[in-house]
Amino acid sequence: MSTKLRILSVLEQQKGQSISGQTLADILGLSRTSIWKGIKTLQKEGYIIEAVTNKGYRLSAKSDVISAETIRPSLLAALQDLSMHTFKTIDSTNDEARRLSSKDPIRQGIVLSEEQTKGRGRLGKSFYSPSQTGIYMSFYLKPNLNMADAALVTTATAVAVCLAIEKLTTKKPQIKWVNDIYLGDTKICGILTEAVSDFESGKVETLIVGIGLNVKEPSAGFPTELEAIAGFLTSSAEKASFDRNLLIAEIANQFYTIYQAIEERSFLAEYKKRCFVLGKKITFKERNQQFEAVPIDIDPKGGLVVRLSDGHQRTLSYGEIIM
Ligand code: BTN
């Protein structure tokens, strides 16, 4: 581990408290000059490290830079070997996940970025991904699933994100089928699952699960076209000390726990509890057609079972609810 990351790891362990340059130097077996240089590099990378007279250095509770070294200690033991790739900026974490997994056909991992320049959503939409305010992460997996079951991973991911938010905050996120997570009337998170499959066997070779979660209100606000619908997880009072790294680790823990046992489908009950469209009259858009229906259930494959105006039942697997 580099000098700078060793310093960061000690500062992280006592985030918000000061530690003298000498103590840091003693703990790490480094000179005070090396500590000073390491601190300067971390500050340049965006970490808020204050130099407090007679007390030393303090990683501010407001410091919130996504880093693998900060995330890893909060991951479950079974995930300690996971490869993690972090970026300041990237076109799309899903695209990077696809590039990485094609180079390494065996390993699974996570891609994270502070910003995306070409963030993508479902149905050809873009996903607004401004710097340092959100979580843009993609898991790349080597599942032993066929295409139909791979669709369930999206459903499972929505549950994982809700459980992680509920564990670390007092918020009560809800799910709009298939994969949008809402807080009140606004969408705070979307999920884009993409598969690379073997044409002959029909098996999914690589599954990429991208999560875009608006954590803090972007300083310039949302673009006009998103203003009415887009929301964020933290209030202005909470956002100053919110640590995205902890939430990333918790999402990963919840996700992999559900994913290991995906065939048991026990997460579907959690999905239904949070799926706020069940029992409500909705307008559904499927390809270029719109129709009204009342969702009544989620089927074992994650499909939305609806009752149509003529009383017939149908299961929807593709499209979107436009309310
Ligand atoms: C949607 O709301 O339609 C899905 C949005 C998914 C956005 C995430 S952000 C991380 C990953 N990279 C992307 O380009 N998209 C997904």
Is the CB of 136 within 6 Å of ligand 1?
Answer: yes
Architecture of domain 3-59: Orthogonal Bundle (1.10)
Q: What pLDDT sits at residue 236?
A: 82
pTM: 0.93
For 68-274, give the CATH class: alpha beta
Helix (H) or strand (E) segment spanning residue 92: none
Q: What pLDDT sits at residue 203?
A: 82
> Which token pair is 250?
């918790």
Bridge partners for 190 per DSSP: 212
Architecture of domain 282-321: Roll (2.30)
Show Cβ contacts of residue 60 under 8 Å, excluding neighbours closer than 6 positions: 15, 16, 48, 49, 50
Q: Is 317 annotated as a binding residue?
A: no
Counting Cα atoms < 13 Å in the Cβ hemisphere of 169 gives 22
Show Cβ contacts of residue 291 under 8 Å, excluding neighbours closer than 6 positions: 283, 284, 308, 309
Q: What pLDDT sits at residue 197?
A: 83
Tell me the CA distances in angstroms from 25 to 9, 15, 36, 94, 314, one per residue in order. 13, 17, 10, 40, 66
Q: What pLDDT sits at residue 77?
A: 97
Mutating to test ligand 1, I would choose from 176, 192, 211 the residue with most ligand atoms within 8 A of its C-beta, which is: 192
Is the CB of 138 within 6 Å of ligand 1?
Answer: yes
Q: What pLDDT sits at residue 319?
A: 87
> Which token pair is 121?
């959503």
Is the CB of 92 within 6 Å of ligand 1?
Answer: yes
Q: What pLDDT sits at residue 266?
A: 93
The residues spanned by each domain of the chain are: 3-59, 68-274, 282-321
Residues of the chain short of pLDDT 50, as ranges, are none
Give this complex's ipTM: 0.99
Q: What pLDDT sits at residue 89?
A: 97
The protein residue with its alpha carbon nearest to ligand 1, atom 11, reads 210
